[in-house]
Amino acid sequence: MEQYDVPEMRPQIEDAAPAGEEMLDRRRLDALTEARLWRNPCGFAARFNYLALRYNVPLYGWVKERFDLSRIEFVVIYNLAVAGPFTASEIASSTAFPKNTLSRAVNRLLKLGLIHAEANGGDRRAKILSLTPAGRAIYDEALPRFEGLEKEMLAPLNLVEREMLSMLLAKVVVSMFKADASEGAADLAEVD
Amino acid sequence: MEQYDVPEMRPQIEDAAPAGEEMLDRRRLDALTEARLWRNPCGFAARFNYLALRYNVPLYGWVKERFDLSRIEFVVIYNLAVAGPFTASEIASSTAFPKNTLSRAVNRLLKLGLIHAEANGGDRRAKILSLTPAGRAIYDEALPRFEGLEKEMLAPLNLVEREMLSMLLAKVVVSMFKADASEGAADLAEVD
DNA sequence: GTCATATTGTTCCATATCGAACCTTTTTTG
DNA sequence: CAAAAAAGGTTCGATATGGAACAATATGAC
């Protein structure tokens, strides 16, 4: 298969590890992480999974501690803030969370007064969800953290490189998005 | 903050949605997904999270169905296959899975005969884990799927673009990797 | 050498999670 | 219009998960 490795980058890792005695264990740990990232037949996947991990774990950990909200609960808030009112099932489809999990999240957010549900025209099944001021306040407080970590991650890239990365990722995402739409979004979990 | 959006890409999405009656709901769903991806202050994060989702869900779903192995269990096999023998705690540190979860995974894999544990020199606490032929066979059968989906994801890019994307992601990953190493890997879950 | 500390891995338990069955409302079909 | 099918949400229950306390071993301090 193709090689997506970038061998010339690797010295940058090694030169970060001085030869102290107490570095032995650290080096051995790094050996595994490094191998997963660079000596991996699926290096592209390994990289975005690594980034997702290093991004999501600290941020959602902070959200949990600061607001006592689970990841799903915050995702609902975030999506409503970014993309205006939606129904629960629309959020479920879009995020691929199971709808019962989402149902619990929505009910908790309603109970906490962070979101508001209003009738969806004549349809008495679905309710249209939107943020209350309290929910918006949480988003407003959290956003800088999310932006900050993203900025930190992108720090090693200059502006041109960022634009390039953004464009390349966009191409990949759009392609998957279209592929998914053309075969029915309901089958997301079965894509194969 | 900086804008990582790529407005000129968006028509590619819209032109995929014909104006049929039954497309109304689909369009509304797409509206949310699209907004999350393109009208999101953290567009970079949204993109790699989207890719991770679209990559991991189907593959680990298949692994579960085909081998009856959980994600963590398969991760152990995958890591041992890619990076040679390691101890459980090394895998735990590197993957950021809690060590008790990993302990369970390791024990199940031992019981299934997919991995092998041997004494770690004089240290009677840790055991060095390696794949048995049966474990290796699972890796060998699974790898083409993982490679295949990665290849599919990268299909819209030409060779130069792939190299470029790989290099840019590598820069970001290496930078985070170094930042993590310099502040102690044990604090991974607290990175903030 | 001996005691305090750290490390590895396991067990316990409260909670989170998700599939499946379910209820209600809406839409479609004949 | 009645019956069937579909869609939005909720409830239930079996399982997974991860934090905290634990036992066993190893390392370090003195």
CB A51 within 8 A of CB A18: no
Say if residue A17's pLDDT is above 70. Answer: no
Domain boundaries, chain A: 42-180
- Which of A176, A182, A190 should be substituted to probe chain B, the one whose Cβ sees the most B Cβ atoms within 10 Å? A176
- Residue A34, pLDDT score: 83
A65 class by beta-carbon count within 10 Å (0-12 exposed, 13-18 middle, 19+ buried): exposed
- Residue A18, pLDDT score: 38
* A53 in contact with nucleic chain D (CB within 7 A): no
List all residues of chain B from 84 to 123 with a beta carbon under 8 Å from chain A: 84, 86, 90-91, 93-94, 96
Average pLDDT, chain A: 80
CA B148 – CA A87 distance, rounded (Å): 35
Instruction: Calculate how close chain B gets to A136, using CA atoms only, in Å.
Output: 15
Dihedral sign, CA of A146, A48, A38, A162? Answer: negative
Cβ-based contacts (< 7 Å) between A 101-140 and strand C: 101, 104, 122-125
Average pLDDT estimate for A81-97: 89
CB B69 within 8 A of CB B138: yes
CA-to-C1' distance for A119 and C23, Å?
Answer: 19
CA A116 – CA A135 distance, rounded (Å): 9
Instruction: Calculate how close chain B gets to A192, using CA atoms only, in Å.
Output: 6
CATH of domain B69-168: 1.10.10.10
* A103 in contact with nucleic chain D (CB within 7 A): yes
B169 touches chain A (CB under 8 A): yes
Say if residue B52's pLDDT is above 60. Answer: yes
Asked if B94 and A33 come within 8 Å (Cβ–Cβ), the reply is yes
Residue A172 CB partners (closer than 8 Å, separation 6+):
B51, B153, B154, B156, B157, B165
- Residue B27, pLDDT score: 56
* Stretch among A48-57, A139-148, B65-74, B174-183 having the lowest mean pLDDT: B174-183
- Residue B181, pLDDT score: 64
State whether CATH 3.40.1160.10 applies to domain A42-180.
no
Closest nucleotide C1' to the C-alpha of B98: D18
- Residue B26, pLDDT score: 55
Average pLDDT, chain B: 81
